[in-house]
Amino acid sequence: MRMHVEAHIRFGQLFDVDREEAITNLDRAFEAKLNAFHSLYDVSKHMLSYFDHGDTALLIAVRNALHHHNNPLFHSLLSRLYLDDGLSRWAGASFLVASFPTRHGAPLIMNYLIRLDDIQARLNPARGSPHLDTFVKGSKAVDRFRVIARDLSLDEIVRKGISDNYPEDQVYVDIMPSFVSAVCRVFKALKAAGAVFKGDDAQTYVKPFTSEIDVDLVNPTFRTLTVGMKF
């Protein structure tokens, strides 16, 4: 988690010098977070049913999609704008961004934006996408997407995009609140199971993630990002 924070802190200054390195550092740091979360899953899946909850199920699925490199999905918005398509292509274009607030009032400062239709392509069997996750099949895949769509209010995000006339590929979801919510869920399960949190980092994180932070995944918030705006 600290690596991603540090990449965010350095981003602005590095972006002015080398945009590709600045964006790549953010992307790799977030992937490191997902890989660490998957390692946590490996050692704690007997304590928590990860696929019964949308936040934890989504993180595992996105991590696997990035880890196996068998699809073109889940490029961040910054990567798409500056590295993949080129900023000039999107001059004046607007993107709808869905995020999630906290219930305790303090905002989550960092974000990581991925396309909603990438989530659909990878995880919704009804889409018939060639990039559909084949590690989970049949009714299990249907059930997994149903849980993710329910817990992360995906239908509401889809409706908002349609009602505001956004092209499907210009609707993004901030995955950072889901990451924070998932870590809170796992830490609480570990604590309930009697796990001992050792070391300075563990002691720093255990209280916020077990008793202070509370993400509201039921009521998404929306904002518009227009190319040319600072975001």
pLDDT at 204: 87
Structure tokens at 81: 């704008």
Neighbour order of strands in the sheet with 113-115: 113-115, 171-174, 94-99, 221-226
10-residue stretch averages of pLDDT, the chain, 231 residues long: 88 95 96 96 96 98 94 95 88 95 90 97 96 94 98 98 97 97 96 92 89 95 84 42
- Rounded Cα gap, residues 137 and 13, in angstroms: 45
Distance between CA 83 and CA 75 in Å, rounded?
10
User: Distance between CA atoms of 89 and 91, rounded to whole angstroms?
Assistant: 6
In the prediction, which pLDDT does 231 show?
Answer: 42
CB atoms within 10 A of CB 40: 19
Amino acid 123: pLDDT: 98
**Residue 202: predicted pLDDT:** 86
pLDDT of residue 45: 95
Chain-centroid distance of CA 67 in Å reads 15
Element (H, E) at 5: helix 2-17
